[in-house]
Amino acid sequence: MKEDLTAMKKMIAIDLDGTLLNTKSEISAQNRAALIRAKEAGYIVTICTGRATFDVKELLGDLDIPIIAANGGTVHTEGYELFSRITLDQEAGKRAAKALVERNIYFEVYTDDALLSPFDGKEKLKAEFDVIKSANPNEDIADLWEGAMTQFKQFGIKPVDDIRQIFESNEATYKLLCFSFDMNKLQEARDLLSEMPELSLTSSGKHIIEVLPKESGKGHALKKLAAHYGVDRSHIYAIGDSPNDLSMFEEAGHRIAMGNAVDVIKEKSTYMTKGNHEDGVAYFIDLLLKNQFHEKKTLV
């Protein structure tokens, strides 16, 4: 017998990269079908990602569900209706951009309409990658380069001559994403940015720093969206794989780690599903819909 959800609203919040998306950065047919089944069963299904809203919308196609994007910078309900947004402080963004340019670190700026990227971004990252490749001639690090190139495959990416100029306008910005193969340079940037009180830092990968407004984050946005729909924390199922999913986990009664998740996510989880290359999201959802979900901290 299916559980009656009419008096007990439930929400499934799902990260994208490394979670819902497979290794080709696509939503598989199995995962897409599982989202539809969950929605039809009465669950409120939402995407909770660091990607830009327009990029998520392109990935979802005609699947109309709430979207938490830019690590909580924007929240849209069904029908792509803007529910809330938190923008970067203009002066703080300007200081952060200046510091990153001075340290020759590749970064992107998220706005309402585009994902701004320096025109020479690929060349900058290629130069760093070649240094690493030369230092590790016997190691296969092709996957490292492919991971970096994922940034340039996102919908709405727009190369610009001087990325700092966005902070001279009145256009809303939601986050900066920094990427570098040079870990020393990245740590220097992290130390500097962490001293700016208007900003908070998180990460979706070893070579990435995500720079957000202090009051932003997936967790803050998920809490607001759940309150909007009348969903209690104990009835939120959050699925993720990376450190930037930790704040989302803090607001969820059920914390599902992907099989490919980093250790800190697995440690904070209440359940571990299969990896993103095995349609781990669909696997979990099907267990939930069949009333076969029992929390355990072991890999399936």
* Interatomic CA distance for residues 54 and 27, integer angstroms: 16
For 56-65, write each residue's pLDDT tens digit.
999 999 999 9
Is it the case that residue 281 has pLDDT exceeding 50?
Answer: yes
CATH numbers and ranges of domains, the chain:
11-86+217-289 (3.40.50.1000), 93-213 (3.30.1240.10)
Mean pLDDT (the chain) is: 89
Give catalytic status of residue 15 as yes or no: yes
Alpha-carbon distances of 42 from 94, 224, 294, rounded to whole Å: 44, 19, 20
pTM of this structure: 0.87
Catalytic site residue from 15, 17, 241, 245: 15
Alpha-carbon distances of 269 from 203, 287, 296, rounded to whole Å: 18, 17, 9
How much is the average pLDDT of 86-103? 92
pLDDT of residue 139: 56
Is it the case that residue 173 has pLDDT exceeding 70?
Answer: yes
How much is the average pLDDT of 38-61? 96
For 220-234, write each residue's pLDDT tens digit.
999 999 999 999 999
Name 214's Cβ contacts closer than 8 Å, sequence gap at least 6: 197, 198, 199, 200
> Encoding tokens for residue 102?
């001075």
pLDDT of residue 140: 55
1 confidence band (pLDDT: 50, 70, 90): very low
Is it the case that residue 122 has pLDDT exceeding 80?
Answer: no
Strands 11-14 and 115-118: unpaired
